[in-house]
A and B are shown apart, each in its own frame.
Chain A
């Protein structure tokens, strides 16, 4: 009895400590999306000024995999992420739609794309941020992979780097394309 009084709490304690130790350094600020496996929300966004094609849910239900990337000209990591979006658009072989999130001035988004290049199949403008909320966006940039039925299959929070692109996003897209 006395042995167990000594040992059980210590074992419990060691288990707790183990959990804490293994979780240290893992970022806890990323909140997995509540929308994984759910159909992408209904939306329809106008095009950027001077362009003719916006995006809507209909674009995502064409029977093929697609990607929605949430970006904004005021968002610093978006700039860092941009080359990866270009690679994604070139290598994945699926349409990459841009969701231009909460620009103060609609022209900002156009200028940004003019400066850095435009990898997007089409870009929709979300001035109010309402579509962003429907997608569960809480910090730009965020990237969604949508399967052929228009269901959200994967969500990446934060900027994409080369490693995430090669090891996470592209394999995921390939897998979805196979069906």
Chain B
């Protein structure tokens, strides 16, 4: 037999993959369905907002709002029920997270595990800024900088030399 699935991977995982495909993709379904929508447009709007932040567990980076999967449908209905029961948005989200863990949050929560993740844009930007500043300082120190204060005459001459080629 060929390596359809990796040999070191137990066969049930392969079967799990198959069943996930069969159960969650094959069923004719539709992301947000008129039957499940709430009649109150404000509540429905909030439900949509919440659904867009929750991950469909069996899909790739799709929210339950976008997903056709069966479980996503159940979760959407659940969210609406929680809202009808008077939950706030956060309470409804917490209700789902309590059952499925942080994995369902498309927006990773800020906690010690994700400090590095959330800090990374700032750290990278600061590092980049330092590198750029360092580059210009080094350049200045090495004295490889062109004189900046030209007279108008000189600037015009420079324009003539430099700008015709565009770009």
- Which of A27, A102, A130 has the most B CB atoms < 10 Å from its CB? A27
Per-residue CB contact flags for chain A residues 23-54 toward chain B (1 = under 8 Å, else 0) read 00101010111110000010000000000000
How many whole Å from B79's CB to the nearest CB in chain A? 11
- Among the listed B11, B20, B99, B102, which residue makes an inter-chain contact with A136, where contact means beta carbons less than 8 Å apart? B99
CB–CB B16/A158 < 8 A: yes
Q: Is B103's CB within 8 Å of the partner chain A?
A: yes
**Please, which residue of chain A has its CB at the minimum distance from the CB of B17?**
A29
In the complex, the answer to whether B19 meets A75 with C-beta atoms within 8 Å is yes
Instruction: Tell me the number of A-to-B contacts counted with CB atoms below 8 Å.
Output: 82
Q: Which A residues lie at the B interface, using CB under 8 A?
A: 25, 27, 29, 31-35, 41, 74-77, 80-81, 102, 128-130, 133-136, 138-140, 157-161, 163-164
Q: Is the interface of B mostly helix, strand, loop or mixed?
A: helix
| 18 A-B pairs in the complex with CB atoms less than 8 angstroms apart | A29-B13, A34-B103, A35-B99, A41-B99, A74-B23, A76-B18, A133-B74, A133-B75, A133-B78, A133-B99, A134-B99, A136-B99, A138-B58, A138-B71, A139-B16, A139-B58, A161-B10, A163-B10
Interface SS majority for chain A: loop
Q: Which residues of A contact B15 (CB under 8 A)?
A: 76-77, 80, 158-159
Residue from A29, A128, A130, A133 having most chain B Cβ neighbours under 10 A? A133
